[in-house]
Structure 1
Amino acid sequence: MSRSGVSVADESLQAFNDLKLGKKYKFVLYGISEDKTTIVVKETSTSQSYDEFLGKLPENDCLYAIYDFEYEIGGNEGKRSKIVFFTWSPDTAPVRSKMVYASSKDALRRALTGVSSDIQGTDFSEVSFETVLERVSKSAGSH
């Protein structure tokens, strides 16, 4: 349970494990339930398009996301894959929503074992493919 009293739904953990272990999804979007008590799955997708993922981020509301980020590394070393946790909190989101998401993040983040990088986004430049690539390629090791 988080500082805000929000807990993580079992379905949220299952969707993460389906992405991580089963490669069933490319990304999972999470939100806080209407009654502000639980972090739930809002959407899952198998789309390989990063632009489609970005298109799912709301302009005026917060959410969390897990993305199986694949990228090529130089020197003919091939592809790498990192699981990235996004906290999306645009400047235009309501203050109350930003506060609830900020205080609830740790509950979800602690429950998701195996995440390589955390990305905090307040505008689309902070979650662009190039920005995320720079962040994940700096982290040691590969999955």
Structure 2
Amino acid sequence: MATSGVKAGQDCIDAFMDLKIGKAHKYIIYKIADDLKHVEVIKQSSDEDYDNFLKELPEDDCRWAVYDFAFKTADGGDRNKIVFYSWSPDGAKIKPKMLYASSKDGLRKVLNGVAVEVQGTDFDEVAHETVLEKIRR
């Protein structure tokens, strides 16, 4: 259980497994439910346009996301890595930022297979090139 008491349910895990193993989705967006007690899946998409994924991250509220990031290796091979995003924009209020920060580990622990974690407070930090650079390290 997360420090905040916000729990990630089976639906969060099932959506992740659909992305990881079933390749049914390109990304998943998660948020803390209105009751502040559990994490819910708010979007699953097969859209491969990274800019459309970024449009799902609000400028004034926090979210978590998982993205199946495709890229080319140095030798030209195709690779994928699952990236976990912790989105806490500058425009979000302090209380949600604190709740998301204290609840993140509860979700992260149930998502087995994430290769890279990205913290984002503005869109430059989650830009395609920025994330690609982090993946290649």
What TM-score results when the alignment is normalised by the length of structure 2?
0.98
Q: Distance in 2 between matches of 1:40 and 1:10?
A: 10
The AA in structure 2 aligned to 1:8 is A
The AA in structure 2 aligned to 1:102 is A
Q: Distance in 2 between matches of 1:113 and 1:136?
A: 17
1:71 corresponds to which residue?
A: 71
2:14 corresponds to which residue?
A: 14
Q: Give, in angstroms, the shift of residue 74 of structure 1.
A: 2.5
Q: Deviating runs (4+, > 3 A) in structure 1?
A: none
1:100 corresponds to which residue?
A: 99
The AA in structure 2 aligned to 1:87 is S
Show CA shifts across 1:63-94 (max 9, x none). 00000000112233x11100000000001101
Q: Give, in angstroms, the shift of residue 43 of structure 1.
A: 0.5
The AA in structure 2 aligned to 1:73 is T
The AA in structure 2 aligned to 1:39 is V
Aligned length: 137
Where in structure 2 are there 5+ consecutive unaligned residues?
Answer: none
Q: Distance in 2 between matches of 1:98 and 1:83?
A: 23
1:31 corresponds to which residue?
A: 31
Helix, strand or coil at the partner of 2:5: coil
What TM-score results when the alignment is normalised by the length of structure 1?
0.94
Where in structure 1 are there 5+ consecutive unaligned residues?
Answer: 139-143
Helix, strand or coil at the partner of 1:57: coil
1:141 corresponds to which residue?
A: none
Helix, strand or coil at the partner of 2:68: strand
Helix, strand or coil at the partner of 2:29: strand
Q: Give, in angstroms, the shift of residue 134 of structure 1.
A: 0.4
Q: Distance in 1 between matches of 2:75 and 2:39?
A: 41
Aligned pairs (5 A) from 1:120-139: 120-138=119-137
